[in-house]
Amino acid sequence: MSETWIAGINPVEGALANDPQRVRELLVEQGSHNPRVAGLLDRARALKIPAHRRPREQLDRLAGEARHQGVIARYEVPPPRGDAELPALAERAGADALFLVLDGVTDPHNLGACLRSAAAAGVTAVIVPKDRAVGLTPVVRRAAAGGADLVPLVAATNLARALRTLKEAGVWLVGLAGDTEQSLYAQDLKGPLALVMGGEGEGMRRLTREACDFVARIPMPGAMESLNVSVATGIALFEALRQRGGAS
């Protein structure tokens, strides 16, 4: 098992709420008067997790790029799920199965934002290619605002094979691209579904696109030709929820 430092109030709060058995230690900035930070310190102590006050310089060093807001937690990272778990995940979710496939999202802020939207939408699992994804770094966790602990993350050794596995499990694949006439809002998004998003700049790779049952676009009457992948992900997920009657 590997360990990492989770930095920031929301990510630490999410880890303590959803996965406290993997939190090994909590460090809080000396002299902090933030009531939310104090609440996290109290919660950690109630859970019998070692908690200490430390100089800000130490938190800065351990948090790295991530903004820690006066609190960090040492966290045991669970191994990512593999392709073999997809049929069971699809079967358990049944007609409500909703997968998010991210084909090469490499920006940590984008991946974190996608995980946050996925958690808010109750996604069954997020699938990423093992060799073309950024992983659950501290920056990703901060951008996910706790969502990284709520949604299963599947690291697919072979993304095309993982997509075939989903199709064999009865899941329809809908890819998002800007060069098609089919509107996302006219696409049937009910039933077992996987929404497939391309990476920054390149979009979906050829084999990924060919695996999709349908390809749709988000209509944009304005002057911009494309949206940030995390914004497009949120729009697509919540359109699926709207059609399923899951959003009010």
Q: What angle do CA 19, 25, 30 make, to 5 degrees?
A: 125
Q: What angle, rounded to 10 degrees, do the helices at 86-93 and 159-168 form?
A: 40
Nearest to 193 by CA among 240, 130, 246, 135: 240
Instruction: Give the residue from 22, 38, 23, 108 showing the smallest Cα distance to 70.
Output: 38
For the chain, the first-to-last Cα distance in angstroms comes to 41
Residues annotated in a binding site for S-adenosyl-L-methionine: 198, 218, 227
Which secondary structure element, helix H or strand E, spans residue 5, and what is its range? Answer: strand 2-7
Reading the block at residue 184, the tokens are 């996302």
Q: Which residues pair with 25 in a beta bridge?
A: 74
Residues contributing to the annotated binding site? 198, 218, 227
The Cα angle at residue 100 between residues 96 and 101, in degrees rounded to 5: 140
Place of tokens 């920031």: 8
Q: How many angstroms separate the CA atoms of 75 and 6, rounded?
A: 7
